Homo-oligomer: A and B are copies of this chain.
Amino acid sequence: MKLAFIGLGVMGFPMAGHLAKAGHSLAVFNRSPEKAIRFVEAYGGVACRSPGEAAHGCDFVMMCVGDDHDVRSVAGQALDELAPGGVVVDHTTASAKVARELAERAAAAGKVFLDAPVSGGQAGAENGALTIMAGGDPGAFARAEPLMRAYARNIRLMGPSGAGQLTKMCNQIAIAGLVQGLAEAQHFARRADLDPTEVYEAISKGAAQSWQMDNRWATMAEGRFDYGFAVDWMRKDLGLVLEEARANGATLSVTALVDQLYADVQKMGGGRWDTSSLVKRLEE
């Protein structure tokens, strides 16, 4: 079985590393070649000069790139070079539309494209504990699933092509309202002269509890935002959400508002800050 991994960023590098540690020799490609060289130094395999070269003759190509444009370009090249019957597993968070388009194109060539965005962040990628929400052909999913086990714990086929992306969008919608609610709660607490740590102890065990509260309240109170899931990435994801909602008729008033609030954070120079920096916007 021949494997490639394309896109060795903060997510892709550790994900590909887990595949290598599981015993696979990988052909890798990254836009800035130093990372591919660094990967091969650490894990072996072959650093390639293009997505097509990496994908050439492969049974599976995993990829984790930036946006719809990158997905279309990279997956297009990979599909051309893949072995007959080969599978592209795309871990990028992108649109459901590009997933459907590439799945169709793959099928016409006797190959398969699966959309398989992840959640769990950099820590999840490093610990091999990601969640994967996939869409596409069930048979190809069943064949790819054991490979994804190298870096993911919760792997689900959600439906036809695009269903993985749509599920990831549900995740981001839930987070958008939640994080702004949390930011407003902490902002109010400060205005009310309450001790944020005491407030956390009082409200974090009940109906207001959330992963975000358990993992971000303290850093928000300290004003630390130089880590985590960046505002620029969240805006990209919310853009996908709002475009999809325009098509499927969902009304997302809070999500649309929070997207605008994140635009304020970008204007503050906070594009690389963690999403919890919404509280900093309130404090300015």
Using known A-B contacts A208-B178, A257-B254, determine if residue A173 contacts B202 with beta carbons closer than 8 Å: no
Assign chain A's interface to a size class: 35 or more
Q: Is A137 an interface residue (CB 8 A)?
A: no
Beta-carbon contacts of A193-232 to B below 8 Å, as 1s and 0s? 1110011011101111111110100000000000001000
Q: Which residues of B contact A282 (CB under 8 A)?
A: 250-251
State whether B156 touches A198 (Cβ < 8 A): yes
Across-interface contacts of A158 in B (CB, < 8 A): 194-195, 198-199, 202
**A253 contacts the other chain (CB 8 A):** yes
Contact A202 B131 (CB under 8 A): yes
Cross-chain contact B181 with A175 (CB below 8 angstroms):
yes
Find out whether the CB atom of A192 lies under 8 angstroms from the CB atom of B178. Answer: no
For window 135-182 of chain A, which residues contact chain B by CB distance below 8 Å? 154, 156, 158-159, 163, 166-167, 169-171, 173-182
Majority SS at the chain A contact face: helix
Contact of A167 among B159, B199, B248 (CB under 8 A): B199
Chain B residues with CB under 8 A of A154: 201-202, 205
Instruction: Tell me, in angstroms, the Cα distance from A7 to B244 when the chains sit together.
Output: 50
A154 to B131, CA, bound (A): 34
Known A189-B170, A198-B158: A207·B252 in contact at CB below 8 Å: no
Query: Which residue from chain B places its CB closest to the CB of A200 in the assembled complex?
Result: B170
23 A–B contacts from the bound complex (CB under 8 Å)? A96-B192, A131-B206, A133-B202, A159-B193, A167-B194, A167-B203, A171-B208, A173-B184, A174-B184, A174-B208, A175-B181, A175-B207, A177-B177, A177-B179, A178-B181, A187-B252, A191-B245, A192-B244, A207-B229, A208-B211, A209-B211, A210-B211, A253-B257
Given contacts A119-B203, A158-B194, A180-B181, 19 further A-B contacts (CB under 8 A): A119-B206, A131-B203, A156-B201, A158-B199, A159-B195, A163-B194, A166-B188, A169-B192, A170-B203, A171-B185, A171-B203, A174-B182, A181-B255, A184-B250, A184-B252, A191-B245, A206-B211, A250-B282, A253-B261
- A122–B282 Cα gap in the complex (Å)? 34
Q: How far apart sit A154 and B199, CA to CA, in the bound complex (Å)? A: 12
CA distance A166 to B177 in the complex (A): 21
In the complex, residue of chain B having the shortest beta-carbon distance to the beta carbon of A187: B250
Q: In the assembled complex, which residues on chain B have CB atoms less than 8 Å from the CB atom of A167? A: 189, 194, 198-199, 202-203
List 8 tightest A-B contacts by C-beta distance, closest first: A177-B181, A210-B210, A174-B185, A209-B211, A166-B192, A191-B248, A174-B208, A173-B185
